[in-house]
Each structure stands twice: as structure tokens, then as C-alpha cells.
Chain A
Amino acid sequence: SQTIHQWPATLVQPVGSPLSLECTVEGTSNPNLYWYRQAAGRGLQLLFYSVGIGQISSEVPQNLSASRPQDRQFILSSKKLLLSDSGFYLCAWSVLAGDFETQYFGPGTRLLVL
């Protein structure tokens, strides 16, 4: 069966520091991968999605970036964090065939920027 991992679970970082959040998927090949941010425990904002290695599409301009160095690895980064980057970051995956692209979510990373 497929599983999705995110780490760390919780992160407290000072303003201006770099960021690296990692997401990995097991048990599937060539998934679509997504990064979302959830602010204040409510709405989800799609940040990035990827349909393959090295293929990243950005949804909103910001100081975050994403990379996909391997088929089942998706990384969210920042060179300098802002206070407004605080939130709950969720990674998700889906596959084209057989499941009508249902998205399945990881456990999330809570980021607090101070």
C-alpha cells in the first residue's frame, strides 16, 4: 500500500533563516505531488505541484521554492523565512490511472516563524 511521509512534524525557525521540508511517497511510481499551506486551521492554498522529476509549477508568487530531485521526493525550501510563512504545510500525492486522481495527504509539518 502507499504511504506518504513528511518531516519534520514541527519546526520553529527565526525570521530570515532557511527552510527545507521534505515529503516522500512509498508504494507508487511517477505520482503527481503537491505542496499546500493551511493558515489558521482553515483553507488550503496550493503552492506547488509536480508531474515528474524536475518539473515544478508554482501557483503563487512567494519566497518559497520546490524541487523534485527523485520520483517520490518533493522538497519545499526557502532561503529566508518571513513571519507570514508560518502555517501548516501539507504534501499530497495522486496518480493518473485507476483512482481518478484522488489526492492523498501526508501528516503535515507545522512551521512557526518567530
Chain B
Amino acid sequence: AQSVAQPEDQVNVAEGNPLTVKCTYSVSGNPYLFWYVQYPNRGLQFLLKYITGDNLVKGSYGFEAEFNKSQTSFHLKKPSALVSDSALYFCAVRVPWNFNKFYFGSGTKLNVKP
């Protein structure tokens, strides 16, 4: 069965420090992987995606993610966190052969403290 795991419920980081939000996946075949961010009472905003090619993907607001096939991971990273990065982050995998459904992780709350 297809699944996405975000092992951390919450990540705390000080402003200016690097941040990592973890995501691992389990899917048959080649995955299409996505990261979204959600601010309180708002819809999800697309951050970045990995389809093929370079394992390091750059996205919006200075975020990037690294695809690691051997570890089946797609961790979200940012070199220097901002207080405004505090939000809920979702990892998702798209399964092309199953009506292109998305499977979302449970979300990780990122707290960036000044």
C-alpha cells in the first residue's frame, strides 16, 4: 500500500538556524513527491516537487528538498529559518497508476522561535 510518513509531530528551531522536516514514503515504482505548507485557517500552498532528475529540488521561500531513493526519503530543508516559516508542513506522494491520487503525511508543525 502507498503511504507517506512524517515521523515528527513538531519541530522546534531557532530563527537563523537550519531546519529539516522529515518525510519517508512507501510506494511501488517511481514516486512523484510534493511538499505543501499550511498557515492557520488557510488552504495548502504548494512548495516544491520531485518528479525526476536532480535529487535536490529547490522551491518557494528558500526551501529545498532532497530525494534519497535508497532511504525512500524526501526531507524538506532550509539553510536559515525565519519566524514566518512557522506553519504546518505536509509531504505527499502522487501515485500515477491509481487515478493520480495524492497520499498525504500527517503533517509536521514547525515552530521557529526568535
Give the residues in chain A near B36, CB-CB below 8 Å: 105
A105 touches which one: B32, B45, B100, B106 (CB < 8 A)? B45
Residues of chain B at the chain A interface (Cβ within 8 Å) = 32, 34, 36, 41-46, 49, 51, 88, 90, 92, 94, 96, 99-102, 104-107
* Closest beta carbon of chain A to B42's beta carbon, Å: 6
A49-B99, A101-B94, A102-B49 given; A44·B43 CB < 8 A: no
Find out whether the CB atom of A42 lies under 8 angstroms from the CB atom of B100.
Answer: no
Give the residues in chain B near A49, CB-CB below 8 Å: 99, 101
A50-80: CB near B (< 8 Å → 1, else 0) gives 0100000100000000000000000000000
Find out whether the CB atom of B100 lies under 8 angstroms from the CB atom of A32.
Answer: yes
Give the residues in chain A near B88, CB-CB below 8 Å: 41-42
Give the residues in chain A near B32, CB-CB below 8 Å: 100-101
Find out whether the CB atom of A43 lies under 8 angstroms from the CB atom of B106.
Answer: yes
Find out whether the CB atom of B44 lies under 8 angstroms from the CB atom of A100.
Answer: no
State the CA gap A51–B49 with chains docked (Å).
Answer: 22
Which of B99, B102, B107: most chain A Cβ within 10 A? B102
* Closest beta carbon of chain B to A78's beta carbon, Å: 21
Interface membership of A13, Cβ < 8 A: no
Find out whether the CB atom of B107 lies under 8 angstroms from the CB atom of A42.
Answer: yes
Which residues in chain A, 16-63, are within 8 Å of chain B measured between CB atoms? 32, 34, 41-44, 46, 49, 51, 57
* Closest beta carbon of chain B to A51's beta carbon, Å: 7
> Could you pull out 20 A-B pairs where Cβ atoms are within 8 angstroms?
A6-B43, A34-B102, A42-B88, A42-B107, A43-B107, A44-B90, A46-B101, A46-B102, A49-B101, A57-B99, A94-B100, A102-B34, A102-B49, A103-B92, A104-B46, A106-B43, A107-B42, A107-B43, A108-B42, A110-B41
- Chain A's closest residue to B94 (CB) is A101
State the CA gap A92–B51 with chains docked (Å).
Answer: 20
State the CA gap A43–B88 with chains docked (Å).
Answer: 10
Which residues in chain A, 79-110, are within 8 Å of chain B measured between CB atoms? 88, 90, 92, 94, 100-108, 110
